[in-house]
Amino acid sequence: TPTEDWFEHPSISDLHIVGMLKLSGIASLRDLRGEHVPLLRSMVADGLRIIHQLYGVDSDQVRVYIPYPPHYSMYRFHIYYTRISHTEGCLVESAHLVDDVIQNLEMDSDFYTKRTIQYKVRVTDELYKRVWLNEVSSDAFALSDLDIADGDY
């Protein structure tokens, strides 16, 4: 069975699982309200339970976070479950721990409508180019003058 094949398999050290929300109306962290706390708790508990059943990974070895800004290749709200040792995509600028999100929403149901959320944007991203071109006069500097390699931040 898949459980037997994957249970404590060496490749689970890089465990990276996406939990997709079927409910419409929530696209990102910004859409979350206090009323969504039970949903978030359920996503965390169910995901951790399934990960333990399928892969034998204990919950204290799994990081559960919400990416922000959301990855636009996914059109629904989602959370990630990764091994603690797996750091890809878990930078503080882009990964919001679900436990922290729950606590913030419990303190203020509209927390994420009010909160300024800083995040890192690659200089090769379209958003960066649009902001940069609006901030800097094209007479003073041309984006093509930058020495940028793909993947630079």
> Which residues have a catalytic role annotated?
78
Query: Which residue(s) pair with 63 in the sheet?
Result: 82
User: 85: helix, coil or strand?
Assistant: coil
26 token code pair: 């929530």
Measure the N-to-C terminal CA separation of the chain; round to a whole number of Å.
43
Token pair 């479950």 is at which residue? 81
Q: What angle do CA 43, 46, 52 make, to 5 degrees?
A: 130
Pick left, alpha or beta for residue 141 (phi over 0 → left; psi -120 to 50 → alpha; otherwise beta).
beta
- Token pair listed for 95: 């990964």
CA distance 19 to 22: 10
